[in-house]
């Protein structure tokens, strides 16, 4: 650990300041140093490395399955009660929020852990998607949406002549 990161770690042992308070490279270096220092300590995990104001977004895949578009999102560790799906103006929003709290005793030390995570993904639906024919399923951490197609949507496409 260099002198600058040691001084910074002494001031803020639990977390480093947000990037706005000093340079992004310094912030990232401090986060790496904090991650290495906290490895193996009780109550710490790899998720502790992720800054509290940034949560990873889930992997999604949108495929054309013939008569429907199929959107899949991997949401491990979540339940359908954690997930919220909304549709407005052709934009599909998938959001989730998870709160966890656990308490245990290890070698005479009481360990109380609390975690909170939130993400939101917005996906523009294809022009021929039928907003009234969307079905969602959630099983084993995989969210699947079947989005029906509107057969008349292709008729709504109008070609525009280029004038010279």
pLDDT of residue 76: 86
Residue in 55, 46, 5, 36 with CA at minimum distance from that of residue 17 = 5
Res 52 pLDDT > 80? no
Residues 155, 127: Cα–Cα separation, whole Å: 11
The tokens for 89 are 């103006």
In contact, 96 and 75? CB cutoff 8 Å: yes
Task: Give residue-wise pLDDT tens across range 68-88.
Answer: 999 999 988 888 999 999 999
pTM as predicted: 0.56
Q: Where are the domains of the chain?
A: 3-49, 60-151
Res 13 pLDDT > 50? no
Q: What number of other Cβ atoms are within 10 A of residue 112's Cβ?
A: 10
Torsion of CA 107, 110, 114, 115, to 10 degrees: -10
In contact, 71 and 60? CB cutoff 8 Å: yes
Res 161 pLDDT > 70? yes
CATH 2.60.40.790, domain 60-151, yes or no:
yes
């Amino acid at each position: 650990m260099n002198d600058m990161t040691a001084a910074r770690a002494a001031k803020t042992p639990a977390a480093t300041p947000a990037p706005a308070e000093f340079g992004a490279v310094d912030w990232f270096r401090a986060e790496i140093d904090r991650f290495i220092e906290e490895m193996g300590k009780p109550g710490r995990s790899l998720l502790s490395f992720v800054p509290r104001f940034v949560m990873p977004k889930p992997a999604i895949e949108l495929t054309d399955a013939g008569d429907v578009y199929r959107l899949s999102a991997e949401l491990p560790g979540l339940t359908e009660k954690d997930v919220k799906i909304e549709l407005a103006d052709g934009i599909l929003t998938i959001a989730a929020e998870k709160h966890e709290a656990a308490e245990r005793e290890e070698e005479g030390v009481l360990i109380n852990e609390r975690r909170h995570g939130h993400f939101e993904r917005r996906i523009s639906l294809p022009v021929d998607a039928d907003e009234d024919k969307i079905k969602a399923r959630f099983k084993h951490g995989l969210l699947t949406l079947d989005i029906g197609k509107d057969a008349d949507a292709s008729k709504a496409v109008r070609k525009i002549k280029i004038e010279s």
